[in-house]
Structure 1
Amino acid sequence: MTADPTPIEKLIIGRDDLVDVPQSWQVSEQRLLAKGAVTSFAEETVLTPDGEELRRQFTLHPGAVGIIAIDDQDRVALVRQYRHPVRHRLIEPPAGLLDVEGEAYVLAAQRELAEEVGLAATDWRVLAEEFTSPGGLAESMRMFLARGLSQVPAPDGFVKHGEEAHMDTVWAGLDDLVDGVLGGRLHSPTLITGVLSAWAAKTRGGFDSLRPADAPWPAREELLRRQTVY
């Protein structure tokens, strides 16, 4: 007879414990390896709680916002943009850097929506936040949901350049985008987070159940407070 399999030991945590906790291990050495126009590359020597010494290299990033702008027929405004590091033209939601000192997150999102796809919105909500690649990149991203859309001209003085000069605006249904994500045809992390969060919000409590646009963002504030400034 075959012996019964060993039961899997499971540490089950409840809803109140499902939260990422700020923590910072001791840093004994730090070096700036390279400084770019937007990001920088750093190396730090970190001590684990039991004294093991680790050397970690990572990219510093100012953070970003992204926008799922959805109309009354559940169609989402998107851009098709060339991304050289991955050698693909990706379908993405409008997004941009948090590179204006003191600018509120929702104001940055409103600016990017107007610049990239020529839209304004009357209703703004927070969809989700993420650290986009926390093993090697200190980028925090907040995704907004924008509704009540209208067309607006580009902000005064704004001119698209570089890759942005070659991108176009397209629209796609929310359900079709979910199919594209789950089918492995869409790869932008901004789109994946935004689309799946929007779909979950729509099918669970509705968009009006989302957090307000000015909701606190404690994970980003902790990141900015704790990380080394080079």
Structure 2
Amino acid sequence: MVKDVAEEWEVRSAERPFQGRLTGVSSDEVRMPDGSYARRDYQTHPGSVAVLALDEERRVLLVRQYRHPVRQRLWELPAGVLDVPGENPLHAAQRELFEEAYCKAGHWRVLVDFYTSPGGSDEAVRIFLATELGEAEGERFDAHGEELEIETARVPLAELVELVLAGELHNPTLVSGVLALSAALAGAGPDGLRPADAPWPARPFGA
């Protein structure tokens, strides 16, 4: 069976030259198969969740915001960092959908899990499929910083697939989510996806 498996090579030394509020940099000396040691520098990250919210017309709810490292305003899925230790990823995803799009969903499934850049970061992302959409209730989230200029749109899934393959959309969570949902719909459909509380070995969580 083709399946990723957990494995950990010997680490002779580990340093943390930088630690920010959420992310840091780890510098490890790792033992190679030939007995030598090599330094591996990588970003440490608490993990993230994202929501592919699909309405009855098979349109995907998108948000657009400025991303300074790449100097672009990108179309993305509602998403956020797991900045509360031990938080249930589903609860975090529901919060992000509310805060970024003032939206709620009646049905949730796990769409796909992935590492953003496993050669240089330990960030793990879980994308949820949210359906049965409706407007949220209560006061809107008080946005600040780059979130003040968030735009929203609903775009047909088929159109998004074409835009991804044409190289017009670049956010990895959006690309992964759109292609994963397209594959799921061509196969067993949403009911064939994992339940919203499915185990996530990369980021274990409680109830």
TM category (shorter chain) comes to: over 0.9
Separation in structure 1 between the aligned mates of residue 35 and residue 110 of structure 2, nearest angstrom: 40
Structure 2: which 5+ residue stretches go unaligned? none
- Counterpart of 2:56 (choices 68, 72, 88) is 72
What does residue 98 of structure 1 align with?
A: 82
Say whether 1:54 aligns with 2:73: no
What is the CA distance between 1:208 and its match in structure 2? 1.3
What does residue 171 of structure 2 align with?
A: 188
Q: Call closer, same or farther: CA 1:130–1:97 in 2, change over 3 Å.
A: same
Say whether 1:214 aligns with 2:197: yes
What is the CA distance between 1:101 and its match in structure 2? 2.1
Q: Are the equivalent residues in 2 in contact too, given 1:114–1:155 (CA < 8 A)?
A: no
The one-letter code matched in structure 1 to 2:67 is: R
Structure exhibiting the larger radius of gyration computed from Cα positions: 1
Structure 1: which 5+ residue stretches go unaligned? 1-16, 222-230
SS in 2 for 1:165: helix
Say whether 1:197 aligns with 2:187: no
Q: Call closer, same or farther: CA 1:168–1:188 in 2, change over 3 Å.
A: same
Identity rate, percent: 49
The one-letter code matched in structure 2 to 1:183 is: A
Runs of 4+ in 1 over 3 A off after TM superposition: 153-156
Say whether 1:146 aligns with 2:117: no
SS in 2 for 1:186: coil
Separation in structure 2 between the aligned mates of residue 131 and residue 154 of structure 1, nearest angstrom: 34
What is the CA distance between 1:153 and its match in structure 2? 4.2
In the superposition, the TM-score normalised over structure 2's length comes to: 0.95
What does residue 18 of structure 2 align with?
A: 34
